[in-house]
Structure 1
Amino acid sequence: MSDRLPVFPLSTVLFPGLVLPLHIFEERYRALVRELVAQSSDEPHEFGVVTLRHGSEVAPDPGDGPAAAMPPVRAEDLYEVGCTAELRHVTELPDGRFDIMTVGRRRFTVLGVEQGPEPYLCARVRWLADEDQADESAHLLAPRVLTAFRAYLELLRPNSEVLDQVPDDPTVLSHLVAATAQLTVEERQLLLATPDTASRLRTELRLLNRESGLLARVRAVPVPLSDLARPASPN
């Protein structure tokens, strides 16, 4: 069984529990925000965030001058797994734009995109299972991932405050690491699509160790950065 969901194609990957601020200036998404605000409190005030494989996430700002029409977004332009953004705070600006604060809520798989009577894009989605409680292996992996994450952040930003508040829940930690580490879009999408916390933590442990090793080499060996570069994300 599938549901129909408004979707906002972006160049970023949203994870459950993570904050995503957005500035809304396109009229089609202004309309979406107005509809969400008008919904009753019993309905989820959420829309889907899906990462673009290629193409632009929004039309150019009208304030920047005239622009050509945007080509329609197709299913193949998007990654298959997205996350809903729940509306938490809305500020309407004098010119009708919005500054909104959202929080990632639940994951879904895109089955198809469609342009219906609404001005914004919609998709048919299948909800992915919620991770209500991490298993024993996730609880065993979480301290190892946290240690690797602290070491990685210290290499990335020496002498800075590293993780003032550490989440106790392994699932929350796995999403925080996925959103914070400097990974490619493909790697973040892989983590978002991973079905369980333990598998996500295992992948993150490998990625963090790789990234820490790369950072240590960059700091210790005077070689051209191009020799150590990884393939860039196409987004």
Structure 2
Amino acid sequence: MTSIPLFPLNTVLYPDGYLPLQIFEVRYLDMIRKCIMGEQPFGVVQLLDGTEVRKPGQHETLAPVGTLARVIEWAAPLSGLLQIKCMGTQRFRIVHSEQLQHGLWMGQVEMLPSDKVIAIPQEQQNVADALGALIRTLQEQKIPVDQMPMQPPYRLDESGWVANRWCELLSLTPMQKQLLLSQDNPVLRLELVQDELSEHGLLEG
């Protein structure tokens, strides 16, 4: 088991996901600075109850599964403000968590297996095609790479990568996002994403 600092957010980070953040709370400024200096990751977990910015007397409930985040770029434009860009790496399950006196959460976590590299099944090829079409549209609109919701390399032939990018893009409930993040089989995750896309009329064929 590993002990890591946790960053509860109203979003879910998936492996290979891109997450830009603005940090201004003291508890997270210290944490992120230490992660940058030590080249260490931190854990992004979904906030099931409570708000991202700490309030007196607030109770925060953390989701049981999260993803390690690695800082790939940072800037400090003002005193007391950090702008960071992170990439998701490996999923983990929280075994035990506690909130320290100054508000930072620490977690004892066990790492979950990385997705096996599995080609897109023919039945789900339309899911990958739709994501490829979206990426091309954004590129044609001259969206800068660092403002794209997904980062290269675009692994449109991998079930796990395609499923994870749709998990980030779709408007899903917190419970749905957690179920998808917790799903160890990337093809099954892709099938569940396909069901969501079909339900919203976002797939051809």
Aligned equivalent of 2:165: 176
* 1:128 partnered with 2:112: yes
- Tell me if 1:161 matches 2:137: yes
Residue equivalent to 2:178: 189
Alpha-carbon offset, residue 183 of structure 1: 2.1
Give the distance between the partners of 1:110 and 1:192, measured in 2 at CA.
Answer: 13
- 2:78 alignment partner, one of 91, 94, 118: 94
Deviations 1:129-170 (A, max 9, x none): 111422x6x44344132246679x7xxxxxx92787672322
Q: 1:120 & 1:104 partners in 2: Cα distance?
A: 20
Percent identity between the two aligned chains: 29
Q: Secondary structure of the equivalent of 2:63?
A: coil
| Partner residue in 2 for 1:140 | 122
Q: Is the 8 A contact 1:150 1:162 kept in 2?
A: no
Q: C-alpha displacement at 1:114, in angstroms?
A: 1.2
Deviation at 1:93, TM superposition (A): 2.6
C-alpha displacement of 1:96? 2.6
Give the equivalent residue in structure 1 for 2:33.
34
Distance change (3 Å), C-alpha of 1:212 and 1:71: same
Structure with more of its chain in strand, by fraction: 2
Larger Rg: 1
Whether 1:209 aligns to 2:194 is: no
Secondary structure at the aligned position of 2:89 is classed as: strand
The separation in 2 between residues aligned to 1:18 and 1:85, in whole angstroms, is 9
Distance apart, 1:178 and its partner CA: 0.9
Moved over 6 A (4+): 162-166
User: What is the total number of aligned residue pairs between the two structures?
Assistant: 189
- Give CA deviations for 1:93-135 in whole Å, capped at 9, x if unaligned: 331310000011110111121135776211111111111422x
Judged with a 3 Å threshold, the aligned counterparts in structure 2 of structure 1 residues 70 and 34 are, in CA distance, closer, same or farther, namely: farther
The residue type paired with residue 107 of structure 2 is A
Deviations for 1:66-102, whole angstroms, at most 9, x for unmatched residues? xx525353xxx12111111111111013313100000
The TM-score with structure 2 as length reference comes to: 0.80
2:38 is the alignment partner of 1:51? no
TM norm structure 1 = 0.71
1:231 match: none
Segments of 5+ residues of structure 1 without an aligned counterpart are 60-67, 154-159, 216-235
Structure 2 gaps of 5+ residues are: 141-153
Distance 1:54 1:38 in 2: 31
SS state at 1:23 partner: strand
Residues 72, 54 of structure 1: CA spacing in aligned structure 2 closer, same or farther, 3 A cutoff? closer
